[in-house]
Amino acid sequence: MTIKLYNTAKREVETFVPRDPKNVGMYVCGPTVYDTAHIGNARPAVIFDVLARLLRQEYGDDHVTYVRNITDVEDKIIDGAAKRGISIEELTKETTAQYHADMAALGVELPNREPKATEHIQGMIEMIETLIAKGHAYEAEGHVLFSVPSMPDYGKLSGRNRDEMIEGARVEVAPFKKDPADFVLWKPSPGDMHGWESPWGKGRPGWHIECSVMSKAELGEAFDIHGGGRDLIFPHHENEVAQSCCANDDKTFARYWVHNGFLTVDGKKMSKSLGNFFTVRDLLEKTTRLEGCAGEIYRFVLLNTDYRKPLNWTEDGVTNAENSLDTIYTALKALEGVEADETQVAEGVIHHLENDLDTPFALKELIAIAKEANKAGDATEKARLKGQLLAGAKLLGLAQQSLDDWFKGVRDTGEAENGLTDEGIDALIEERDAAKKNKNYARADEIRDELKAAGIILEDSPEGTTWKRA
Ligand code: AMP
Ligand code: ZN
């Protein structure tokens, strides 16, 4: 039981030794909820979901705390809400719900904790006050800035020299900065702009301070793993290290820094700004497969490339994933009458995951078990292989659909062609209720007949009308 992980901070694969095996902590930077997630944003969610499952497998469910935050304070959110003419709360609520639905379709389990930045503003103000008191931050024209020269180790995580840091951070030229590399901890919100009262006037936090404060609130000053996409190494994570190490008594902060590579399209990072993105929702909707099945196919694609390497999104990749999953489900179907040996652990799969989360090899192992099961003749052997297949698939978050759903494969397009989606049926029932209230029985009967013709049976009761498909 030894997990090895590539630690960005050390630039090498290290053996993972938790501070306390009874209390393993992992913090991963979550979404900024201003717009729907694209499949690139889903890559870290799926990768760290597998890492969380592996940690739970090794240390026990009750000994792992996985925290993934929601960034619901950020200038893109203010702009996004203004553009759509809705409130910030409406936008962040809607986007968060959409994110949860999209990630659930990809088989991503909810983390143990999901703090929101707006719930931690007081903690941010306090950490900024501490940084000022310790001489690591200063106030200038309503802003509070972190003083980069006050921290000799700044740049160590990302390994950048000073010029690269200034260039890479695209640090805005601001006359009030004492040093061009200094970054914002707090900024003013003039007029009726969204903000909170603070010792420096009404304002809002910078993005980096949010994660320093939320990770401390949920996991303490020092914890085991900090993750995110590799675009976050600089400046976001470098700045988190600076803030946390300078403000906290314990200078350890995160011990293992784990970063996933980019999902690309034609070799270019998928991003909102380049416009080369597919949202998870669009991908799920463009297939005729049931949502959970489609989600598993995309999850398989995301796991089929080493997490540190670039993953180029292609139709072929999706087709391969679908075929591989089909091999697994076909084996499970052939084993349908066999009682799985539940004492089996997913040894081979675990072995590869322990090796710096080698998901492509873990998937190969799973398919090898499926093929072996197809050939097995002996009942004990079948039970053993079914047990292994199910345990390995669970660890990877795959083969979680029913056999019926997988082999049915497609949504009932007949319903969609008739316009009779679940929502459509509910709307017709509402219209029928209204017609009955208005004593328009002809229309009410017409709706009942229309639904009956489409195979929808209505059941009236004093509590209202329910329906089922015939
Ligand atoms: P954001 O909502 O933009 O803050 O991004 C959420 C997460 O998605 C971060 O961990 C990013 O590093 C990650 N991310 C964004 N684009 C990509 C991409 N093309 N490939 C992989 N990860 C990405
Ligand atoms: Zn973060």
The verdict on the CB of residue 29 being under 6 Å from ligand 1 is yes
**C-alpha of residue 309 to centroid of ligand 2, in Å:** 21
In degrees and rounded to multiples of 5, residue 348 shows phi and psi of -60, -45
For residue 446, what pLDDT is reported?
81
One domain, residues 397 and 425 = no
Domain that holds residue 448: 417-469
For residue 417, what pLDDT is reported?
44
pLDDT in tens, the chain (470 residues): 799 999 999 999 999 999 999 999 999 999 999 999 999 999 999 999 999 999 999 999 999 999 999 999 999 999 999 999 999 999 999 999 999 999 999 999 999 999 999 999 999 999 999 999 999 999 999 999 999 999 999 999 999 887 777 776 555 667 889 999 999 999 999 999 999 999 999 999 999 999 999 999 999 999 999 999 999 999 999 999 999 999 999 999 999 999 999 999 999 999 999 999 999 999 999 998 999 999 999 999 999 999 999 999 999 999 999 999 999 999 999 999 999 999 999 999 999 999 999 999 999 999 999 999 999 989 999 999 999 999 999 999 999 999 999 998 565 544 444 556 677 787 788 888 888 887 888 888 888 888 887 778 888 887 788 887 76
One domain, residues 125 and 211 = yes
**C-alpha of residue 41 to centroid of ligand 1, in Å:** 4
One domain, residues 146 and 198 = yes
Last-in-domain residue among 231, 263, 295: 263
State both tokens at 53: 């499952």
The verdict on the CB of residue 317 being under 6 Å from ligand 1 is no
For residue 413, what pLDDT is reported?
47
The verdict on the CB of residue 36 being under 6 Å from ligand 1 is no
One domain, residues 81 and 219 = yes
**C-alpha of residue 46 to centroid of ligand 1, in Å:** 12
The verdict on the CB of residue 269 being under 6 Å from ligand 1 is yes
Of the candidates 279, 267, 324, the one whose C-alpha atom is nearest the C-alpha of residue 301 is 324
Last-in-domain residue among 230, 263, 296: 263
One domain, residues 235 and 381 = no
The verdict on the CB of residue 236 being under 6 Å from ligand 1 is no
One domain, residues 43 and 188 = yes
In a domain, 221, yes or no: yes
The verdict on the CB of residue 41 being under 6 Å from ligand 1 is yes
In a domain, 298, yes or no: yes
Length, in residues, of the chain: 470
In a domain, 100, yes or no: yes
For residue 428, what pLDDT is reported?
83
**C-alpha of residue 448 to centroid of ligand 1, in Å:** 48
Is residue 265 a contact partner of residue 310, using CB atoms and an 8 Å limit? no
Q: Total structural domains in the chain?
A: 3
For residue 447, what pLDDT is reported?
84
In this prediction the pTM is 0.87
Sheet holding 24-28, edge to edge: 64-68, 24-28, 223-229, 254-260
For residue 173, what pLDDT is reported?
67
Of the candidates 268, 267, 250, 207, the one whose C-alpha atom is nearest the C-alpha of residue 232 is 207
**C-alpha of residue 185 to centroid of ligand 2, in Å:** 14
One domain, residues 217 and 81 = yes
For residue 411, what pLDDT is reported?
54
In a domain, 464, yes or no: yes
Atom number in ligand 1 closest to CA 261: 21
- Strands 64-68 and 137-140 turn out to be unpaired
Of the candidates 30, 20, 53, the one whose C-alpha atom is nearest the C-alpha of residue 353 is 53
Last-in-domain residue among 377, 407, 437: 407
One domain, residues 153 and 256 = yes
In a domain, 95, yes or no: yes
**C-alpha of residue 40 to centroid of ligand 1, in Å:** 6
The verdict on the CB of residue 227 being under 6 Å from ligand 1 is no
